[in-house]
């Protein structure tokens, strides 16, 4: 589901055209704004109350004080939704909002399993797999060729992991050349989508 801060007839930013087309074909695009409404700054905090209202919970991966992410988290709290926050380096302003949310009672998460565990009472029929006890070869992905994800960043991570053996997050950071926070966020989103699984010691593998 994509919730727009513009009219339904506008693609913003224009570079998102391919993503817009995919969501329109396979999902749902929502807007409360009239056709032709331009992307004014005030539209997006207003839009975010719909995003949080449609959700069981809101995850803040990064958020400076006063950022749109924090506005969405505050809206979620007002709507009695769960709020989750991913911690980051204490000296980065982009994580100050996340840390404030954690101090105020947001659920600190390090993996997608943390979120699923919190939401499980409201998700009938969902069962979480037990965490593996070791990093033995039994955790290697079976020798089948899985389709690569559509998202370019997820595709990069998928290619690094498809050798079949778990890799430490530091090795994935070196392999991608990305900042550590981007690697953490990408892995978390992929875990939520069931594409990867986190193993003890911050190792990751493709989900079986």
Class of the domain covering 137-206: mainly alpha
Please choose, from the candidates 85, 32, 79, the residue with its C-alpha nearest in 3D space to the C-alpha of residue 56: 79
The structure tokens listed for 5 are 């801060």
CATH hierarchy code of domain 2-122: 3.40.50.450
**pTM of the entire predicted model:** 0.59
pLDDT in tens, 163-186: 767 888 888 888 888 888 788 888
Domain ranges (residues) in the chain: 2-122, 137-206
pLDDT in tens, 80-114: 999 999 888 888 898 899 999 999 889 998 888 78
Question: Which of 32-46, 96-110, 152-166 has the weakest average pLDDT?
Answer: 152-166
- State the first-to-last Cα distance of the chain, in angstroms, to the nearest integer: 26
Q: What ranges make up the beta strands (E) of the chain?
A: 2-3, 29-30, 57-60, 82-85, 107-108, 167-168, 196-199, 203-206
């Amino acid at each position: 589901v994509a919730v727009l801060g513009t009219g339904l007839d506008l693609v913003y930013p224009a570079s998102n055209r391919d993503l817009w087309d995919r969501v329109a074909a396979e999902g749902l695009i929502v807007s409360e704004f009239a056709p032709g409404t331009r992307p004014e700054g005030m539209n997006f905090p207003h839009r975010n109350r719909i995003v949080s209202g449609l959700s069981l919970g809101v995850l803040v991966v990064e958020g400076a004080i006063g950022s749109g992410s924090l506005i969405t988290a505050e809206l979620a709290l007002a709507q009695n939704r769960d709020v989750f926050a991913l911690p980051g380096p204490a000296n980065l302003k982009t994580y100050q909002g996340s840390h404030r949310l954690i101090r105020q009672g947001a659920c600190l998460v390090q993996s997608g399993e943390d979120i699923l565990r919190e939401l499980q009472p409201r998700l009938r029929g969902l069962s979480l797999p037990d965490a593996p006890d070791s990093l033995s070869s039994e955790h290697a992905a079976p020798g089948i060729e899985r389709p690569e994800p559509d998202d370019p960043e997820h595709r990069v991570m998928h290619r690094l992991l498809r050798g079949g053996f778990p890799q430490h997050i530091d090795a994935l950071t070196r392999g991608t050349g990305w900042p550590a926070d981007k690697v953490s966020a990408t892995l978390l989103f992929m875990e939520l989508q069931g594409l990867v699984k986190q193993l003890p010691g911050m190792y990751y593998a493709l989900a079986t």
